[in-house]
């Protein structure tokens, strides 16, 4: 079985990036820019990247990572809006590889998805990506080949704006969060297929049972346990992969390695937060310091001040902070509370601030999953208390009697103003999707001409994931007509949270009145939610559309979108 999560959280790790510089495995290019606390940076319009294998040690046990230019994360790439960039990517692996530029608008053959955009980069081969940069902000890049992203093939990307931005700051730091496992990713996936709750070390105990009895009574507690058992689910199963195997990294540093960003007293800082993990949602805060959110997924939003934010896998947030003390802890705890990444913002090297305790372990409830109002003594639909619920959620016929679908939400809502599991009523001001408002009007302006509804489906015990109960291998492409404006409706029929990413096009999230709210490239879908967004099919080609939890995507929650004349 995996090692104890607490030991893994605190074990001294050696960041691959700092290790490799000392080994001299690659020479610093003349255009590289280095500053204290910053990731290795490459800027300009011409880039040479190579994907290979490098020794790494994050837990005290030597391993081999897949890396970009010998570092994990890969180098920070800095582009300029309006430039044409050329990136030559060489493959030094023994397997095919690729790079996808997450959230970047570009021609389909530059998107980097093997089987859709191109054939991939064969061992010893090179692929030249070249396109005009038509946006600015904080993004990232990663392999779209197999499970290479989990092994280390990812890096941050910053695009400097052509026009002045609507906020001021004196210094910036990119903060890239990720998850590392000493296990072979393919073996980890096999483990999940054999026993999906293998990494869930937080299951409820006999003590929890008696605590619930004292609070809710014997009958209600027994009925609740029976209901979960009948569904073959566990309310503590919040993350499929946990700190039981993961070490959580900040800019490639394990918690005890304490990544540090140095600033001068009185400076206003911009933090570019990127969740480049394979499977982990992070709840980010800086105790004693407010964060003003100014951008989401690379695009400006109306500023909102918060104490904490949840960053889904593949999302990015830009925040402004104004430190007035010498040191602060940048704290990013995993959503399931099995570990954390941490770093320090300080006025000089060697300083640190107290690391807070993790919050209590959250539990998924029937209400969270859109199953509220059920008679806890029965799974029979006729036994439901319909007066306690909203409108009944309909479902596609492909979900009916489907061995790949273990539940269907009964009553769903957008839940845009919900902070999420483990963040409600915690005494802190937590960012919600309802707080995010683009600083611009709907760039398209048209009403959608048609609606496509997709359900996020899965079977926890089988670890099978899909859209509408149909895994990718058996699904027809979604066909869009070039130039049309559509509305996508997503319904989460599972107990897991899914970050859904559409390549090549923006996703314009609607508010609960159907009005444009915020433009993003990744839409988070908690359990029991029904969220809608508009898409303009403005780029021809074949595009990936998938859950960005890596092992969910690999096991079927993936569709092809074809934009055709």
pLDDT per position as a tens digit, 498-550: 999 999 999 999 999 999 999 999 999 999 999 999 999 999 999 999 999 99
In the chain, pLDDT over 70 holds for what percent of residues? Answer: 84
What pTM was computed for the model? 0.88
486 has a pLDDT exceeding 50: yes
Q: Which residues of 144-178 are buried (b: 16+ CB within 10 A; e: fewer)?
A: bbbbbbbbbbbbbbbbeeeeeeeeebebbbbbbbb
pLDDT of residue 233: 53
361 has a pLDDT exceeding 80: yes
pLDDT of residue 220: 52
16 has a pLDDT exceeding 80: no
For range 398-426, the mean pLDDT: 94
Residue range 422-474, pLDDT digits in tens: 999 999 999 999 999 999 999 999 999 999 999 999 999 999 999 999 999 99
Helices (H) and strands (E) in the chain, counts: 7, 32
171 has a pLDDT exceeding 60: yes
Which has the closest alpha carbon to 320: 339, 333, 301, 340? 301
With bands split at pLDDT 50, 70 and 90, how would you rate the model's confidence at 219? low
pLDDT of residue 384: 41
Say which range, 121-130, 225-234, 511-520, has the weakest mean pLDDT: 225-234
Q: How many CB atoms lie within 10 A of CB 271?
A: 22
CA–CA dist 417, 435 (Å, integer): 8
Helices (H), 78-180: 148-151
**Average per-residue pLDDT in the chain?**
88
- Same fold for the pair 5-167 and 366-565: yes
pLDDT of residue 322: 98
With bands split at pLDDT 50, 70 and 90, how would you rate the model's confidence at 358? very high
Q: In this structure, are strands 154-160 and 76-80 parallel, antiparallel, or unpaired? A: parallel
CA–CA dist 231, 20 (Å, integer): 48
334 has a pLDDT exceeding 80: yes
22 has a pLDDT exceeding 80: no
Question: In sequence order, what are the residues at sequence separation of 6 or more whose Cβ sits closer than 8 angstroms to the Cβ of residue 23?
Answer: 55
CA–CA dist 309, 335 (Å, integer): 11
pLDDT of residue 369: 75
73 preceded by a cis bond (ω within 30 of 0)? yes
pLDDT of residue 127: 98
With bands split at pLDDT 50, 70 and 90, how would you rate the model's confidence at 363? confident
Using alpha carbons only, give the angle 291, 295, 296 rounded to the nearest 5 degrees: 105
292 has a pLDDT exceeding 70: yes
CA–CA dist 502, 454 (Å, integer): 13
CA–CA dist 36, 24 (Å, integer): 19
Question: In sequence order, what are the residues at sequence separation of 6 or more whose Cβ sits closer than 8 angstroms to the Cβ of residue 414?
Answer: 511, 512, 529, 530, 531, 532
CATH number of 366-565: 2.60.40.420
230 has a pLDDT exceeding 80: no
380 has a pLDDT exceeding 90: no
> Domain 5-167 belongs to what topology?
Immunoglobulin-like (2.60.40)
Question: In sequence order, what are the residues at sequence separation of 6 or more whose Cβ sits closer than 8 angstroms to the Cβ of residue 6?
Answer: none
| 403 within 8 A of 445, measured Cβ to Cβ | no
Question: In sequence order, what are the residues at sequence separation of 6 or more whose Cβ sits closer than 8 angstroms to the Cβ of residue 409?
Answer: 369, 370, 371, 393, 491, 492, 493, 527, 528, 530
pLDDT of residue 365: 85
With bands split at pLDDT 50, 70 and 90, how would you rate the model's confidence at 33? very low
Comparison of pLDDT for 217 and 521, the residue scoring more? 521
pLDDT of residue 229: 52
Say which range, 1-15, 28-42, 422-436, has the weakest mean pLDDT: 1-15
With bands split at pLDDT 50, 70 and 90, how would you rate the model's confidence at 4? very low
Place of tokens 């109306």: 302
With bands split at pLDDT 50, 70 and 90, how would you rate the model's confidence at 30? very low
- For the chain, what are the domain ranges? 5-167, 366-565
pLDDT of residue 153: 98
């Amino acid at each position: 079985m995996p090692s104890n999560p607490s030991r893994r959280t605190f074990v001294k790790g050696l960041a691959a990036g700092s290790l490799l510089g000392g080994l001299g495995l690659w020479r610093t290019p003349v255009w590289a820019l280095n500053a204290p606390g910053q990731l290795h940076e490459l800027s300009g319009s011409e880039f040479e990247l190579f994907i290979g294998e490098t020794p790494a040690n994050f837990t005290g046990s030597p391993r081999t990572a897949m890396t970009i230019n010998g570092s994990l994360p890969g180098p920070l790439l800095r582009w300029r809006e309006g430039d044409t960039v050329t990136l030559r990517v060489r493959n030094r692996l023994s397997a095919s590889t690729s790079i996808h530029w997450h959230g970047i608008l570009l021609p389909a053959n530059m998107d980097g998805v093997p089987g859709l955009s191109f054939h991939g980069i064969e061992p010893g081969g090179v692929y030249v990506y070249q396109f005009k940069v038509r946006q600015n902000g904080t993004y990232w890049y990663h392999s779209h080949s197999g499970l290479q992203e989990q092994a280390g093939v990812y890096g941050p990307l910053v695009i400097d704006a052509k026009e002045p931005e609507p906020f001021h700051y004196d210094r910036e730091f990119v903060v890239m969060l990720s998850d590392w496992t000493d296990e072979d990713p393919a073996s980890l996936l096999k483990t999940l297929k054999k026993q999906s709750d293998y990494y869930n070390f937080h299951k409820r105990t006999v003590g929890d049972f008696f605590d619930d009895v004292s609070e809710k009574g014997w009958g209600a507690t027994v009925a609740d346990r029976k209901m979960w058992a009948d569904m073959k689910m566990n309310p503590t199963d919040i993350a499929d992969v946990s700190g039981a195997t993961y070490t959580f990294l900040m800019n490639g540093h394990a918690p005890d390695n304490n990544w540090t960003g140095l600033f001068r007293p009185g400076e206003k800082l911009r933090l570019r937060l990127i969740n480049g993990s394979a499977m982990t949602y992070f709840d980010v805060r800086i105790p004693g310091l407010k964060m003003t959110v100014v951008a989401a997924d690379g695009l400006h939003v109306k500023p909102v001040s918060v104490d904490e934010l949840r960053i889904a896998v593949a999302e990015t947030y830009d925040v402004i902070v104004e430190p007035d003390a010498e040191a602060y802890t940048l704290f990013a705890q995993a959503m399931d509370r099995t570990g954390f990444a941490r770093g320090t913002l300080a006025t000089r090297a060697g300083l640190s601030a107290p690391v807070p305790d993790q919050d209590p372990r959250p539990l998924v409830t029937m209400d969270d999953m859109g199953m509220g109002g059920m008679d806890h003594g029965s799974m029979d639909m006729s036994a439901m208390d319909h007066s306690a619920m909203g409108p009944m959620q309909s479902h596609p016929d492909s979900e009916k009697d489907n061995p790949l679908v273990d539940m269907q939400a009964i009553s769903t809502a957008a839940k845009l103003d919900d902070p999420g599991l483990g963040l409600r009523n915690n005494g802190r001001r937590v960012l919600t999707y309802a707080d995010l408002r683009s600083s611009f009007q709907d760039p398209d302006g048209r009403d959608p001409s048609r609606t496509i509804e997709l359900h996020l489906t899965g079977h926890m015990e089988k670890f099978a994931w899909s859209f509408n109960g149909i895994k990718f291998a058996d699904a027809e492409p979604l066909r869009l007509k070039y130039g049309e404006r559509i509305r996508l409706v997503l319904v989460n029929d599972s107990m897991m949270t899914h970050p859904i990413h559409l390549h090549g096009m923006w996703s314009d999230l609607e508010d609960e009145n159907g009005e444009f709210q915020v433009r993003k490239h990744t839409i988070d879908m908690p359990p029991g939610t029904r969220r809608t967004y508009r898409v303009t099919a403005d780029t021809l080609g074949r595009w990936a559309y998938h859950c960005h939890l890596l092992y969910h995507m690999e096991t079927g929650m993936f569709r092809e979108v074809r934009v055709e004349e």
